Structure 1
Amino acid sequence: MTVLGIWVEVNGCLEQEKAALLQLKKNVGDQLPFIFRSVWLLDYLESWKEDKTSNCCDDWEGVTCGLNSRVVSLSLESPNLGHLSEMHFNASVLHPFEELRELNLTSMGIKSWDEDKGSTKLSSSLKVLDLSQNMLDNNIISQLSGFQSLHTLNLRANQLRGVVPLKGNKYSSGLQKNKFGPSLEFLNLSNNSLEGHIPNDIYNSSRLQNLDLSYNRLNGLLPKNFSSNIQTLRLNDNRLSGHVTDAFCNSFSRLSRLDLSNNDLRGRIPAAINNLTQLQALFLRGNQFNGQIPFQLCLVELRLLDLSSNNLYGSIPTCLSQLFTSRYGGGSPYVDIGMDFELINDGRVGELISMKLDSAHNIIYSKAEFVTKNMAYNYEGNMTNILLYMYGIDLSCNKLTGHIPHELGNLSNIQTLNLSHNQLWGVIPSSFSNLKNIESLDLSFNHLNGRIPAEATNLNTLEVFNVSYNNLSGKIPFQAQSSTFDATSYKGNPFLCGLPFPINCTTDDTPSTSTSESQDEDSGWIDMEAFYITFTGSGVTMFLAVVIIMLINPHWWNAWFYLAKACILYSYYFFEDNIRKLRRARRV
């Protein structure tokens, strides 16, 4: 079949594109060490065959064609190849693919990208480019500056070094405003060796939605002006310092995911955080934030909140029970599909949706780390989809005091709740029996007292339960789901008895009814901090009162000293007489 009098279709794909794919296979294979060459070609590209019956559109792995049999998506991702070779990728082999929209070369061991001077058609058609987990250096920035149609660029885990490549240095051309064109929406430079301050210029793209600079060596203060269109911002695991200012919070209007974890940020969490009305995931773990948890956090439709490993103090706001009230939080699982009116006008809507959804796995993705079930899990993929099903709060490793608000039992959708390593006291609220979707509940290393609520046995979804190192007492509820927890969940509570401990309970240790448990919850805890303050204050007051009274009335002053003198003399003669009697008794 002849297409436009030039291209010849062979078994569903164009002959020239099929030949280019075979040449690409040869180029990759020739650069592999001989011992690995046949293994990789057989395991991954076995379907790429030269015979005429092989259809590169339908039969070849990693190749996707549009309705006109042109290749629109090419994926050569290899999880092991990056450790076996140092490949020089010749981009000229991609010249025949004039309608290629997506190119995935993850973990191919690419050390250099040879510029293709004749690739103007490719640079104008390519929308998604994934070069992550290779060995590319800063030269790639300038080499890709001509790709004006890119809306997604992933350079994660390469060998980019030095300052963020912007104007003012050798590699400035790549990330200046509009150098990648006005279409850039997703930019991932994480897991490199970038350092220095974060320049404001990187946010000038009016369409930039997803920016990931995590796991670098960036330092300095947070920039104050961001593109208001940014929806996901990941600056975690760097060396950023200073405060999170109101200006920082006010610069966003569509931000839904913010990760500033594991930096050296200080000060209070700004009250202006409630201006981020679309915020769904907030990660501030591993910084030096202090002060109380601002109630303004309750005004945001959060689904994941991680404030662990900071210096926060005060009580837990009861208004946190208002989180997770919105089913979709203003999001949609298709928010990242986007629109390409060129494809729609050409009548290729099916091609558009197929291309965007196929790319979501590795290209259009976000990543979040959240501690649950005693482990730090990385949630990767379309972050909007993840946030539809994940709910969690982590306030561990702070200096929070007071009792656990019973209102937290209203968080019926929550899946993980971590309040460990604080200074909380009081009883475990029986309202936690309403946490029907809870999978991980960690209350360890606090000062909780009272009994473990018998209602905890009704939490059928609970997989991790930890109340170790508290002051709990009484019989451990050991039935239904609670019978799956071993002694490590309860250790450090010397007054607990019953299974899984080898300590039998007496009759008095049997759990009380839910009515008495509720009464204990309301009145069984003592505010120890207030008790100590009151006791000390009362003692000082009494001492000062006695001193003042004696100074006002000399008679009482003299009477006091006379009494003290009489007591001293009486004690002296008492011990003197008894000592003499003991000496006489020994002589006899």
Structure 2
Amino acid sequence: MIGFSLKCQEHKRSLMACHAACEPVLCHEDESSALLQFKQNFVINKFASEYFPSHPKTVSWIPKTDCCSWDGVECDDQTGHVIGLDLSNSQLYGSIGSNSSLFHLSQLQRLNLSHNHFNYSQIPSTLAHLSRLTHLDLSYSMFSGEIPKEISQLSKLLILNFCCNYVPSFPVINLLQLKQQSFISFIQNLTNIKRFSLSFVSISSPIPNILTNLSSLQHLGLYSTGVYGEFPIGMFHLPNLKWLIVGLNQDLTGYLPGSIGNLTSLEGLHLRQCRFSGSIPSSLGNLTKLQYLALSNKFHGEIPHSIFSLDNLRTLCLAENLFEGQLELNSFFNLKRIEYLYLSHINLSLLTKTISSNASVPRNIRVLDLFACNINEFPKILKYQNQLEILDLSQNKMHGTLPSWIWRKKNLWELILSNNLLTGEISPMMCNLKSLEFIDFSFNNISGRIPPCLGTFSENLHTPNSKNNKIPGIIPQEFMKACSLKMIDFSQNNLQGQLPKALANCRLLEYLDVSNNQISDSFPFWLGTLPQLKVLILRSNKFSGVISSPRNSTFCKMHIIDLSQNDFSGKFPLELMQNWDSMRASNVNDIKYEALYHYFKDQGINESKCEGDKAPTSATDEDEDEDSWFPFEFDWKVNVIGYGGGLVFGIAMGITYNWEKHALLWLIRVHRRVVRRY
């Protein structure tokens, strides 16, 4: 009995131990409190993560619940300490202070704050207190300023990502900076780093040779960092390298050694828009895992045929090189998985040959850029590319009419055929492409009419451009109420008739250019109701009559309006210009306008010189009668142009003396009057 009793007690203890082991360990109260306090520093704003699928993870962070169950929080199964925090794409808007409660999570190993908006705040140097970190991702998070050198003290880091903190302007503005000495410190201290991304961080220094000592490195991102000088050749000897991204560094020089063929783990090589030169080694064909290859530089010689055997390649960019000779376009279609192919300005002639209808070619192409490739005919091999989304064949020598099968590409949303020798018509079959957003036929010899369905076939179309052709007839008269058109350029054709009043349905329209046609109409005041219209070019037509505009037609966003070389009569109404706030500058010296101003400046004419030639002698000279300050009747062909916050009036008087200098003086005077009046 005693033995049986002891066995029962042991069994009971065993069950209790098992129960204790199986029972989940709860989050530590102090860490739960730290997370809740951290949450209070932010507001949820879906625009903080607008470019990627997102949801507000911190909504699940509720007091008096186990923080280990919260969205984005990872705890150690044994200790209950928070060891991982993934708040990527969480719609967080705010900033992280140097004394943030985040830094109380002393056991944290993984921290991902990517794809949020930290309001251009600085990265706190106290991140270095999280000494156990192995993963730190601050990409796409709108941090700015100097990257703290202290972060290089996190010697356990395996992944460090500062990528893509930039303002998406043109050109892109990098928000983060890294000093050269800090760059070296990161490399010296992070000896086990596997993924190191500094893309879009302003570094502006040579790449230290000690980078080649990082034998564990798998991913290096230095895209658009301003690094310069000779690229360390030893980088092509790193045995574990999978991705090397150093594009858009225009002062970075180097070459591709034959030994690059030994990087058999390489999956991506991005050297676009640097100054690498020499020939492309045929050993690239050994990189059988390669999926992405971008080599837009100054490479010369021939394209090695070994590239065409890279069966895993999905993206190939060879644009803007100095290759020689001729090459069959079909060669690129030997790449079994190719989806994105960029060959613009390849400097050799791409030959297109007829292929049989039963030809076995890959049909994966989604984006094809053949800009300026000396192509003489529409490539017939494209007939079989039914996945095509973007096609650019501009600035070639293609002639004849468009093949009818191009209008059966149901996925096509961008078609660019400008600057060729194409003839014939724009087929009404175009209206079968419901996904079409951008289409450009400009600078060809197309003589057929614009398809009547242009304004009604798609809610996606936003930019049709048929500038500089021989298109006759009238502009289509119907435009749907859900019209998405933002830019229309029908200039330099043979169009007649009137502007269609249905254009008033295009509430998103920003740019309308119908110049150099034969359109006969009165001033289209009804366009003034369009809330986004910024540019209106009616030059060189047969518009006539007095310009008037009802009060509800204000052209409230107008930046540029060109009415020259028409048959308008009377004076330009002052009350219409009073509504053009977008043309008004807050600083009288801030006169910014497009080609006209820059043309004058290029001629050596500047404001001080013009002002000195004929300065006003009294206040009366500048403050003339309201009826006389705009002195030109429309038989002088007045051209009103405003741009970028300034208001100016260009004149085209059709006279031969040097009027540019006098015009610029007048522009400045009128600008100053407008600023004072309004």
TM-score computed with the length of structure 2 as normaliser:
0.52
Structure 1 gaps of 5+ residues are 327-389, 505-588
Which amino acid is 1:446 matched to?
N
- Give 1:255 deviation, angstroms: 0.9
Which of 367, 371, 391 in structure 2 is aligned with 1:416?
Answer: 367
Q: Does residue 401 of the first structure (1) align with residue 349 of the second (2)?
A: yes
| Cα displacement (A) at 1:83 | 6.1
What corresponds to 1:429 in structure 2?
379
Matching of residue 14 in structure 1 with residue 26 in structure 2: yes
Q: 2:442 aligns with which of 482, 491, 499?
A: 491
Counterpart residue type for residue 416 of structure 2: N
1:498-509 aligned at under 5 Å gives the runs 499-500=450-451, 503=472
**Alignment pair present for 1:277 and 2:225:** no
Distance 1:164 1:12 in 2: 47
| 1:23-34 alignment runs, 5 A limit | 23-26=34-37, 29=40
Residue 459 (structure 2) pairs with residue 449 (structure 1)? no
Partner of 2:606: none
Shift of 1:74: 1.0
Change (3 A) 1:495 1:194: closer
One-letter code aligned to 2:162: L
5+ residue gaps, structure 2: 1-15, 49-55, 166-174, 452-469, 474-678
Amino acid aligned to 1:74: L
Instruction: For residue 204 of structure 2, give the secondary structure of its aligned residue in structure 1.
Output: strand
Q: Provide Cα deviations, 1:490-512, integer angstroms capped at 9, x if missing partner.
A: 332215535538559xxxxxxxx
Q: Secondary structure of the equivalent of 1:111?
A: coil
Q: Which amino acid aligns with 1:419?
A: L
Instruction: Output the amino acid matched with 2:86.
Output: S
Q: Residue 66 of structure 2: SS of its match in structure 1?
A: coil
Residue 81 of structure 1 deviates from its aligned partner by: 6.1
Contact in 2 for aligned 1:186/1:208 (Cα 8 Å): yes
1:478 aligned partner, one-letter code = P
What is the letter of the counterpart of residue 304 of structure 1? T
* Greater mean alpha carbon deviation, residues 447-456 or residues 267-276: 267-276
Residue 238 (1) aligns with residue 249 (2): yes
Instruction: Tell me the residue number matched to 2:207.
Output: 198
- 1:223-269 per-residue CA deviation (whole Å, 9 max, x = no partner) reads 21221211111111223443423246245221110111222333443
- Please point out which of 110, 113, 116 is paired with 2:125: 113
SS of 1:494 mapped into structure 2 = coil
- The within-5 A match list for 1:37-436 is 45-51=58-64, 54-58=65-69, 60-65=70-75, 71-77=82-88, 84=95, 86-89=97-100, 93-95=104-106, 97=107, 100-106=108-114, 108=118, 109=121, 111-114=123-126, 123=132, 126-132=133-139, 133=141, 134-135=143-144, 137-145=147-155, 147=156, 150-156=157-163, 157=165, 159-163=176-180, 165=182, 172=185, 174-176=186-188, 179-180=189-190, 182=192, 184-226=193-235, 227-247=238-258, 249-250=260-261, 252-285=263-296, 287-301=297-311, 302-318=313-329, 320-325=331-336, 391-406=339-354, 410-425=361-376, 427-436=377-386
Partner of 1:351: none
Query: What amino acid is aligned across from residue 348 of structure 2 in structure 1?
Result: L
- 1:392 maps to a residue whose letter is Y
Bigger Cα Rg: 1
Name the CA distance, whole Å, in 1 between partners of 2:73 and 2:252. 45
Tell me the secondary structure at the aligned position of residue 491 of structure 1.
coil
1:403: Cα distance to partner?
A: 3.4
Alignment CA distance shift 1:243-1:154 (3 Å): closer
Q: Is the 8 A contact 1:310 1:397 kept in 2?
A: yes
Larger fraction in helix: 1
- Relative CO higher for 1 or 2, CA cutoff 8 Å, sep ≥ 6? 1
Matched, 1:459 2:468: no
Given that residues 115 and 143 in structure 1 are in contact (C-alpha distance below 8 angstroms), is that contact kept between their aligned partners in structure 2?
Answer: no
Change (3 A) 1:469 1:204: same
Q: For the Cα contact (< 8 Å) 2:426–2:446, is it kept in 1? A: no
Shift of 1:315: 2.7
Cα distance change of structure 1 residues 36 and 487 upon mapping to structure 2, 3 Å threshold: closer
| In 2, Cα distance between equivalents of 1:486 and 1:234 | 31
The answer to whether the 8 A contact 1:225-1:251 is kept is no
> Alignment partner of 1:297: what SS?
helix
Alignment correspondent of 2:389: 439
Aligned with 2:424: secondary structure?
A: strand
Closer, same or farther in 2 for the Cα pair 1:26/1:243, shift >3 Å? Answer: closer
- Distance of 1:234 and 1:312 partners within structure 2: 23
SS in 2 for 1:217: coil
1:244 and 1:270 in contact (8 A); partners too: no
Tell me how far 1:396 sits from its aligned partner. Answer: 1.5
Write the distance in 2 (CA, Å) between the matches of 1:194 and 1:238: 11
CA displacement at 1:66 relative to structure 2? 5.7
Whether the aligned pair in 2 keeps the contact of 1:291 and 1:311 (CA below 8 Å) is yes
Aligned equivalents of 2:215, 2:38: Cα separation in 1: 38
Shift of 1:218: 0.6
Q: Which shows bigger deviation, 415-424 or 454-463?
A: 454-463
The CA deviation at 1:451 is 2.6
1:62-118 Cα offsets, whole Å, 9 max, x none, are 2134655554421345777676565445675112x3xx442123455453333777x
Conserved? CA contact 1:91–1:114, under 8 Å:
no
Cα distance in 2 between the residues matched to 1:185 and 1:289: 30
Structure 1 residues 444 and 29 mapped into 2: Cα distance closer, same or farther (>3 Å)? Answer: same
Aligned pair in 2 of structure 1 residues 474, 73: CA closer, same or farther (>3 Å)?
A: same
Paired with 2:420 and 2:99, the residues of 1 have a C-alpha distance of 59
| CA distance in 2 between partners of 1:187 and 1:411 (Å) | 35
Counterpart secondary structure, 2:381: helix
Amino acid across the alignment from 1:102: R
RMSD: 3.9
